[in-house]
Amino acid sequence: MSIASVFNKQYKKAAKLDVFEMSSRGALVKMFKFRRGVNLTTSEFIEDLNLGISYGGIRNENVESLTFSSDSFDLCTSTEVFEHVVNDSLGFREMVRVLRPGGRTIFTVPLSGSDKTIERASMVENAVIHHEPPEYHNDQLRGYKKVLAFRTYGNDIVEKLMDAGFTNAYLDDSYSSAFLGFGRSVVVAEK
């Protein structure tokens, strides 16, 4: 709901948008499907399967190495994805690459409220190294408590996005206390 609210605020008058959403289901996907003028591309990341191919109607993409051409989208969105990406800096750079000039990414991640991101785990030679007690999140494809969180973001996510090549990045807290307390801060970055 928070992402949808920020989207509606940012794109009040947009006639046509090419949107990439890093999920194949959920309320945000439904909203985009019913929004006139939105050309929606969705995906999931299914390890060990070829990227850029659809399996059962679901396109397989890894945000660290997207198969899309440069300058393909006006908007990229995701809900609670980047904390699970092994190398989020690569993912952020890929967002910059596939966005058109002036394009945006709007997404949510767990934010601790602290200044610094906590790197919970890393990958070294295909082995996970835990720096903090492991934290696993739920996923509709993989199941309950099956997806490792590599980090919990701090406010420095804005700097990480700027380092990746975005020209502007900020946290939109307009809806963080809305929706009966279920609102979230939303990350917005512009190419």
E-strand ranges in 43-114 read 54-55, 58-59, 73-79, 99-108
- Is residue 12 one of the residues assigned to a domain? yes
pLDDT (tens digit per residue) in 14-59? 779 999 999 998 889 999 998 889 999 999 998 889 999 999 999 9
Helix (H, G, I), strand (E, B) or coil at 31: helix
Question: Residue 68 belongs to what domain range?
Answer: 2-109+155-190
Instruction: Tell if the pTM clears 0.75, that is, is over it.
Output: yes
- What percentage of the chain has pLDDT greater than the value 70? 94
CATH label of the domain that carries residue 54: 3.40.50.150
- Is residue 148 one of the residues assigned to a domain? no
- Is residue 102 one of the residues assigned to a domain? yes
- Is residue 51 one of the residues assigned to a domain? yes
- Is residue 84 one of the residues assigned to a domain? yes
- Is residue 78 one of the residues assigned to a domain? yes
- Is residue 15 one of the residues assigned to a domain? yes
Structurally, the chain folds into a number of domains equal to 1
pLDDT (tens digit per residue) in 122-165? 999 989 999 999 999 877 666 566 789 999 999 999 999 999 99
pLDDT for position 140: 63
Question: Sign of dihedral through CA atoms 101, 77, 161, 129?
Answer: negative
- Is residue 142 one of the residues assigned to a domain? no
